[in-house]
């Protein structure tokens, strides 16, 4: 693997000796997860998006949910012990995470935020997540993702 394809997310996995694969695809602008899955041939039910929310306490949280689903904010808040959470505005994604919209990975953000992975991820040996930049996906075991991000699993979708 050449150096130029490594993202922070991949470096974290390498450092933690976690096995993964990656996919690269042509992508200059944001495309949603469903279009990414179609473009790469990734199974929709195994493809997950990364959403960032802020709680009443002002703490940020990361939610990893199936690409075809929407996060249920009340369930998400309950999963992190908040009264309520709201998704951060798109314009704040880079400032908070260090990533751009469409390239936001639960791995390698500016800070390690509490993370919840949708419980359905546990049904698969491998899931697809953003690789940390547009045009890159990482394929890994959901238990490995939970281990490296210190995440919990919960049913947090509508």
Distance CA(64)–CA(93), nearest Å, equals: 15
Q: Given this model, what pLDDT does residue 4 score?
A: 55
- Cα R_g (the chain), whole angstroms: 14
Q: Given this model, what pLDDT does residue 3 score?
A: 46
pLDDT tens over the chain, length 158 residues: 444 578 999 999 999 999 999 998 887 776 788 878 888 889 999 999 999 999 999 999 999 999 999 999 999 999 999 999 999 999 999 999 999 988 899 999 999 999 999 999 999 999 999 999 988 999 999 999 999 999 999 999 98
Q: Is-above-0.75 flag for pTM?
A: yes
Q: How many CA atoms lie within 13 A of 39 on its CB side?
A: 15
Domain count, the chain: 1
Query: In this structure, are strands 115-118 and 60-66 parallel, antiparallel, or unpaired?
Result: parallel
Q: Given this model, what pLDDT does residue 102 score?
A: 87
Question: Domain span at residue 45?
Answer: 3-154
Q: Given this model, what pLDDT does residue 2 score?
A: 43
Distance of CA 39 to the CA centre of its chain: 18
Residues 6 or more apart whose CB falls under 8 angstroms from that of 59 comprise: 80, 82, 113, 114
Domain CATH number, residue 130: 3.90.960.10
């Amino acid at each position: 693997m050449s150096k130029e394809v490594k993202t922070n997310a991949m470096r974290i996995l390498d450092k933690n000796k976690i096995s993964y694969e990656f996919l690269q695809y042509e992508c200059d602008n944001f495309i949603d997860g469903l279009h990414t899955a179609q473009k790469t041939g990734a199974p929709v039910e195994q493809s997950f998006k990364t959403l960032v929310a802020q709680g009443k306490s002002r703490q940020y949280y990361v939610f990893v949910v199936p690409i075809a689903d929407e996060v249920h904010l009340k369930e998400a808040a309950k999963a992190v012990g908040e009264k309520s959470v709201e998704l951060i505005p798109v314009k704040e994604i880079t400032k908070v995470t260090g990533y751009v919209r469409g390239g936001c990975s639960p791995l390698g953000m500016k800070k390690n935020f509490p993370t919840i992975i949708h419980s359905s991820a546990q049904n698969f040996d491998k899931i697809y997540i953003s690789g940390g930049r547009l045009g890159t996906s990482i394929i890994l075991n959901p238990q490995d993702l939970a281990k490296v991000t210190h995440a919990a699993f919960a049913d947090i979708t509508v």
